[in-house]
Amino acid sequence: MKCKTGQVLLLIFLAVVVCGQAFGLHQVAPSHHVHRASKRRTRFRRVLWNPVFRPSHDSLLRQNQEIDRLELPRIQNQAELDQLIARQELVPIVASQTLRFDPRLDPDRRYCRPWTRDFLDDLSEAYYQQFHTSIQVNSAVRTVQVQKKLRRHNRNAAPEKGETASSHLAGITVDIQRRGMTKQQVAWMEQYLMPLKDQGLVEPEEERHQWVFHVAVSGRYADLREPNSLAGEQQDGAQDDQSAQPPSILSIGDQQSSFDLTPASFK
């Protein structure tokens, strides 16, 4: 009887050991696969996110330095915004065949500085000529009140005060939707903005979490635009085979020697 009991206990012990090993193998294998899958996703994200205009602390400083140079106020509330609109210091951004808005953008915030609207007009026209579709504006002017609310649910939003405050508060900046653009369209945008950045006329960032081109426009942009328009009229009907380069950028390059851009606004 004791022998049979011992045999039963031994069998139970062996069964527990075998099951335990099998259970252990069952647990380890998925963990290994999950780890490898996670590494693959991480590598994919790193390859995907490689912007030309990476957001930085220095970029925020340059944007605020331009606002200070222009002696522009950071708009505190709706009342101040309404006053600037009434004085036409802020002008409406107008939807057209070449430009549309995110429907969620409040109509009261579809305003910007005149030179920023000039930049948008030039960009949207060049983009439409290249791709036969419009750009989308997701954000333009903001008040300090709006920025405070935004920061409650978006930790990546710039502060509403200080040396790195959001440049939207002065109306010089627009956010252009990047999500949904093809690789070719993103590359075109980067090529369009690079010469302007090199001349200190814009300070662009490609935001990761919001997937937009955040573009602060220098007040000096207006200094170049009028001569370029005249030059364009003189070349009425001329065709440029370099379709990869936006027409407005080529015009700016032709006029570069006529203007002293040193020191540039954003440099």
pLDDT in tens, the chain (267 residues): 555 555 656 666 666 555 555 444 444 444 445 455 555 554 444 446 678 999 899 999 999 999 999 999 999 999 999 999 999 999 999 999 999 999 999 999 999 999 999 999 999 999 999 999 999 999 999 999 999 887 777 666 787 788 988 999 999 999 999 999 999 999 999 999 999 999 999 999 998 778 999 999 999 999 877 655 444 444 444 444 444 454 444 344 444 433 333 345 565
pLDDT at 204: 97
pLDDT at 244: 43
pLDDT at 45: 45
Q: Which two tokens stand for residue 151?
A: 């920061």
> What angle do helix axes 247-255 and 114-131 make, rounded to 10 degrees?
130
| C-alpha closest to that of 140 among 114, 115, 169, 160 | 169
Locate all alpha helices (DSSP H) within 70-163, ordered by sequence: 78-86, 114-131, 144-153
SS3 172: coil
SS3 177: strand
- What pTM did the predictor assign? 0.70
**CB within 8 A of 181, min separation 6: which ones?**
189
